[in-house]
Amino acid sequence: MSDLFGEAPAAPRGSRRASVPFDDGSRPLADRLRPRTLGEVVGQEHLTGPDGVLSRMLDAGSLGSMVFWGPPGTGKTTVARLLASEVDYAFEQISAIFSGVADLKKVFEAARLRRTNGTRTLLFVDEIHRFNRAQQDSFLPVMEDGTVVLVGATTENPSFELNAALLSRARVLTFRSHGPESLARLLERAEEAEARPLPLDEEARLALVRMADGDGRAILTLAEEVWRAAKTGEIFDAATVQDVVQRRAPVYDKSQDGHYNLISALHKSVRGSDPDAALYWLCRMLDAGENPLYLGRRLVRMAAEDIGLADPSALHIALAAKDAYDYLGSPEGELALAEATVYLAAAPKSYAVYVAYKAAMRAAREHGSLLPPKHILNAPTQLMQDEGYGSGYAYDHDAPEAFSGQDYFPEEMGRREFYRPTDRGREAALRERMSHWADLREATKKSRR
């Protein structure tokens, strides 16, 4: 743009405004308040602040391909659009949900044509993880030759959802969920834009922030619903605002990252003997719509893996909780899962059986099909008796303390020690008993020499 006397001075970074779409008054509040400069972006200061990663890229004067990874409503699309504006790139946007190979070819051809005219293209691909592996590979040539600067957006972990080849050519930048402070700032911006306060008391305002669940778009949508619902002079309290706007479903996909992150948090809280944290993560998953029977099965696994024989009752309680839910259903059966969660978290911990199982499995695979020692084999036929089957077997119940001290491992393998009980819970008694048996076994060996 120029004035009457020549070129206008270049706008400082962060002040150049993106183009404003036509507004006939029907656009949603979240769209009307979309930031028009990087300096207006809220909640992603680690990327867009003065020392942020994107700010440093712009200071260097060039952009590379990137993948924006983060929850919905954190500004991924907006930031991509603003970056294109900052460096005077053409902005192209497609969605992997609605686009196929033919659409990509058209975009790439348009970008090549622009490049011959001296204009580069920033291609923003929303939900990029929805493209299959072959479609993702189609981006590689145009990224390598500079036809496009690719900015992909995804809510899923790029490590699992994107090709290694694509990731090696793009930098992954993480967008964070909005915290209470940035959501509060968005509400203030909404009130300034609307030139009226939200009809909420302080507790209702905090409740609205919680309901947004870290989503900036959601907080503005909820604010619009409050303004629509309020009568003249009416002020909503926390209970009323929840009834008016209902509640937003938690961000959670039962087959993706949210699922695995939360079950990991539950498992580690149980293992870490924190009943309060374990109960919280259980409720987070139930509230998000997780299948309670899946949680019941995982509790059974935790009882076997992390508690084991330190408290054998834990496995019985976990199985009973799963069966109780199967019998009662929701919501009554969920209390049984909560009871099992608290019990498992508070129980003494031992993974000695888990470790022993892993070690024994390795030994079984390493040593192949070794036969048991002949003295513990049955000999139902004369031929087997002639071969020495059962010869020298000592019946343990006839031995002192019902312990013969015989060797039960294959002769070629020798005796191994897999299970080493801890000194926690009931395993302490097992440890003492096994130590006593080891002494008897050694004494029996000496007496036979």
Residues, the chain: 449
CA 62 – CA 124 distance, rounded (Å): 16
Cα angle at 89 between 88 and 90, to 5 degrees?
120
Which of 246, 262, 251 minimizes the C-alpha distance to 207?
Answer: 246
- Which helix (H) or strand (E) segment holds residue 438: the answer is helix 427-448
pLDDT value for 376: 85
Tens of pLDDT, residues 383-400: 888 888 888 888 989 888
- Beta-carbon contacts of residue 342 (< 8 Å; ≥ 6 apart): 275, 278, 279
Tens of pLDDT, residues 230-276: 888 899 988 888 888 876 556 556 556 678 889 999 999 999 999 99
Longest CA pairwise span in the chain (Å) = 116
Backbone φ, ψ for residue 171 (5° rounding):
-90, 130
Looking at 96-166, which runs of residues are DSSP E strands?
121-126, 148-154
pLDDT value for 5: 37
More confident residue, 339 or 101: 339
Compute the average pLDDT of residues 439-443. 87
Which of 241, 245, 246 minimizes the C-alpha distance to 204?
Answer: 241
pLDDT value for 7: 40
Q: Is 79 exposed, middle or buried (0-12, 13-18, 19+ CB in 10 A)?
A: buried
Report the 3 state secondary structure along 10-59: CCCCCCCCCCCCCCCCCCCHHHHCCCCCHHHCCCCHHHHCCCCHHHHHHH
Q: Give the pLDDT band (50/70/90) at residue 182.
A: very high
pLDDT of 364 > 50? The answer is yes
Q: What distance lies between CA 352 and its chain's CA centroid?
A: 28
- Beta-carbon contacts of residue 80 (< 8 Å; ≥ 6 apart): 68, 91, 93, 122, 124, 151, 153
Taking a C-beta distance cutoff of 8 angstroms, is the pair 353, 420 a contact? no
- pLDDT-above-90 percentage for the chain: 57
- Averaged confidence pLDDT in the chain: 88
Tens of pLDDT, residues 131-142: 998 899 999 999
Q: What distance lies between CA 418 and its chain's CA centroid?
A: 34
User: Can you list the domains of the chain with their CATH numbers?
Assistant: 2-174 (3.40.50.300), 180-245 (1.10.8), 257-346 (1.20.272.10), 371-448 (1.10.3710)
Compute the average pLDDT of residues 50-77. 90
pLDDT value for 248: 56
- pLDDT-above-70 percentage for the chain: 92
pLDDT-wise least confident of 44-48, 138-142, 284-288, 445-449: 445-449
Which of 184, 256, 190, 278 minimizes the C-alpha distance to 226?
Answer: 190
